[in-house]
Amino acid sequence: MLTAVWTILIFCTIIFIHELGHFIAAKSVGVTVHEFSIGMGPKLFSRTKGETAYSVRLLPLGGFVRLEGEDDDSESDGALCNKKPWQKFVVLFAGGFMNFVLGFLVFIFLAANTYLTSNIIGAVTDGFSMQEQGFAEGDKIVAMEANGKSHRISSYNDIMLFNLTNPGADADITVVRNGGKITKHVSLKADESGRKIYGFSPKILPNTPLNVIKAAYDNSVYMTKMVGISLWWLITGKVPVTEVSGPVGIVSEINTAVSETGGFEGLLRALSLAGLISINLGVMNLLPLPALDGGRIVFVIAEKILGHRVSPGKEGLVHFIGFAILMAFMLFITFSDIRKLFG
């Protein structure tokens, strides 16, 4: 029961914030909003104020803002199709942008209630390469290089990202000490559990307002990069499609966070998952694919370049085909999630 409540709360909040972004942007540029709905399917509740009907529908796994002239031609001055390209862009971009804002706010709360790691060395481990190469407490890691590619380091998240994209690789690590830079080659070595490490732990920073905001920003950037890397791995075949999680897989993760951990720690894990889902939705929705906001933005850019709007019929057909493919993909992912649960 608790898992169901958390799942509905997380999904509804993320969807509400996304649609709120479209709603506020549409109102700000004079687009008529006919309906603001949370949920899909039959209406459970509806109230009209001004030109807009605010409704709650039966299925809590979706939502929409119905705009005048969004898909069809309209003579109304309040129609989206009659607005300037930059105004259309603002309306379409606002939903995904608000998901990034929500993720950032969630990470602020998390940063205020957890340990804040940094790219400053807090301690080096005896017998490991970091100690052997002379690195010491207080050194600030600013760059790591492996496989001929250098990575700028400005947070502990950057170090984790480096390890993720360079698994099992030794590295040339650059630190700042007393205003000067030192670069040394560091080798991985297995610890008692068999995990290969460089042999250092990060310095923990105090939860000051400035540190909390910086940590929230770093986490937002890290999650965004993670989504991008995951997409690239999926496209290149490094990660199979069956590893992608849909609604069923997400519910399973929420259940793990809430039921197995419990208490305040369970809340933090659930919120961390919510922040990741929100940013993931923001990135995915802005991809230049038909039926998504990013796909619609492509047509707005084309309109700006061509000097006239692309035929609504042709655009509608492209989005319809894209939507059908998206639904087929979601069904495949859902089936895959169910197989994982019972396989």
pLDDT in tens, 281-310: 999 999 999 989 999 999 999 999 999 888
Over residues 30-48, the mean pLDDT reads 93
pLDDT digits (tens, 9 = 90+) for 332-343: 776 766 666 565
Do 86 and 130 lie in one domain? The reply is no
Please check whether residues 84 and 130 belong to one and the same domain.
no
| Residue 173 structure tokens | 């690590």
Domains in the chain, number: 2
pLDDT, position 9:
84
Q: What distance in Å separates the CA atoms of residue 333 and residue 316, rounded to the nearest whole number?
A: 25
Query: How far from each other are the two terminal CA atoms of the chain, in whole angstroms?
Result: 24
> Residue 3 pLDDT more than 70?
no
Hey, which residues are catalytic here? Answer: 19
Domain that holds residue 187: 121-202
Tell me if 231 is assigned to some domain.
no
List, as own/partner pairs, every contact residues 290-297 make where C-beta atoms lie below 8 angstroms and the sequence separation is at least 24, other chains included: 290/318, 290/319, 290/321, 290/322, 290/323, 290/325, 291/319, 291/320, 291/322, 291/323, 291/326, 292/322, 292/326, 293/92, 293/93, 293/95, 293/96, 294/96, 295/319, 295/322, 296/92, 297/89, 297/92, 297/93
The model's pLDDT over 127-149, given as tens digits with 9 standing for 90+, comes to: 999 999 999 999 999 999 998 89
Which stretch of DSSP H or E encloses residue 254?
helix 247-255
| 35 domain residue, yes or no | yes
Residues 72 and 130 both lie in one domain: no
CA distance 32 to 50: 10
Lowest-confidence region among 29-33, 97-101, 248-252: 248-252
Q: Considering the chain, what percentage of its residues have pLDDT values greater than 90? A: 63
Q: Specify the pTM.
A: 0.86
pLDDT in the model for residue 310: 87
Domain end (from 178, 202, 226): 202
Give the best-scoring range by mean pLDDT among 5-14, 93-102, 270-279: 93-102
pLDDT (tens digit per residue) in 197-256: 999 999 999 999 999 999 999 999 999 998 888 888 888 888 776 666 656 556 566 666
